[in-house]
Amino acid sequence: MNRVMRLAMICAVAATTTLLSRTALAQQQDFSKVEIKVTKVSGNIYMLEGAGGNIGASVGEDGIVIVDDQFAPLAEKIQAALKNIGVTDKPVRFVINTHYHGDHTGGNEPFNTAGSTLIAHDNVRKRLETGGTAGNGGSIKMENKPAAKAALPIITFQHDVTVHLNGEDIRAMHFPLGHTDGDSIIFFPKNNVVHMGDDFVRYGFPFIDVASGGSAQGIIEAMEKTTAQLPADVKVIPGHGALSNLDDVRAYTKMLKETSAVVQKALDAHKTLDQMKQEKILAPWEKFSGQFVNTDAFIETLYNSLTGHKGEFLKHN
């Protein structure tokens, strides 16, 4: 075996190990220990935290609408926590998915089986139906199996959809090529709340699913458009992390713009991905480096995002 071949094999093994350990991590998570924390955001809007993405909930006399549903084993606890708020005994009428990832759609099947109607962007249904690889086009890679039929959204939309319930026009709007190619941001205008899905997260450098049509540029655009239109005191539910405000969103957008500009400059100077990593071009933003997306993984993300490599965009109907 020559040196190049051996190196290729070692890389392949290393990549598989990373993939397996991430998958194993998700499977081994002990959901029996997870407690659902409920926070009143404003009026009749609540935020639920457990494991996976934050849930936004409109709870009122017409029933309950939730945005995202974490993981299947938590569905009963989520339903119990909603009942515990003490406003209604009614089950969840509608579930809106912000995007297709399993930590936001894992509860789709049990909620649907219990009578909820699932709503999401066209590409959420497509990606759930087919399964496929999520990743940053580099070291982060996760395999998704095709979802069960009962987990697929029944109502899908291309641009936006509005659910009129509890005296509010709850609007889900699609923003293209952000965290994935099927993201929606959900607005609760009467209560002055917005759920940003994973276009806005608080865990450091964001995971951008470039392999599923996501891009840093799309997230920046979505954040700039929404911050320009939303009231200054809007309450922001992030995809992951603590309840936020527009200043938090602006700081996050600034980081994305600055780091994108640095990688773009390196691309213009014809630097390779390895050179960018070796030169630690994102060192000034090191505090955003996390366990999930470290600085090198974020350089890969921006590199692939800006060059259009590794992206795979699903055409709309």
Q: Which stretch binds Zn ion (CB under 5 A): 4-12, 20-28, 61-69, 95-103?
A: 95-103
Residues in the interface with Zn ion (CB under 5 A) total 2
Nearer of residues 23 and 264 to Zn ion, judged by Cβ: 23
Shortest spacing between CB 13 and Zn ion, in angstroms: 27
Binding mask 96-125 for Zn ion (x = CB under 5 A): -----x------------------------
- Of 49, 168, 198, 300, the one binding Zn ion (CB under 5 A) is 198
Of residues 53 and 110, the one with the C-beta less far from Zn ion: 53
| 122/198 with CB nearer Zn ion | 198
Contact window for Zn ion (CB under 5 A) among 145-153, 182-190, 192-200, 299-307? 192-200
Q: With respect to Zn ion, which residue has the nearer C-beta, 195 or 273?
A: 195
| In the complex, least distance from residue 98 CB atom to Zn ion, rounded to whole angstroms | 8
Mark the segment that binds Zn ion (CB under 5 A) among 86-94, 168-176, 196-204, 242-250: 196-204
CA distance 68 to 71: 9
Residue closer to Zn ion, measured from CB, 256 or 273: 256
HEC readout, the chain: CCHHHHHHHHHHHHHHHHHHHHHHHHHHCCHHHCCCEEEEEECCEEEEECCCCCEEEEEECCEEEEECCCCHHHHHHHHHHHHHCCCCCCCEEEEECCCCCHHHHCCHHHHHHCCCEEEEEHHHHHHHHHCEEEECCCCCEEEECCCCHHHCCCEEECCEEEEEECCEEEEEEECCCCCCCCCEEEEECCCCEEECHHHCCCCCCCCCCHHHCCCHHHHHHHHHHHHHHCCCCCEEECCCCCCECHHHHHHHHHHHHHHHHHHHHHHHCCCCHHHHHHCCCCHHHHHHCCCCCCHHHHHHHHHHHHHCCCCCCCCCC
Return the number of the residue (69 or 198) whose C-beta is nearest Zn ion: 198
Question: Pattern 220-259, binding to Zn ion, x per CB under 5 A?
Answer: ----------------------------------------
Write down the least CB distance from residue 12 to Zn ion, Å. Answer: 26
Mark the segment that binds Zn ion (CB under 5 A) among 108-116, 123-131, 190-198, 259-267: 190-198
Q: Which residues have C-beta within 8 Å of that of residue 123, sequence separation ≥ 6? A: 100, 180, 181, 182, 213, 314, 316
Nearer to Zn ion by C-beta: 105 or 260? 105
Taking the complex as a whole, how short is the minimal distance between the CB of residue 103 and Zn ion, in angstroms?
7
Residues binding Zn ion (CB under 5 A): 101, 198
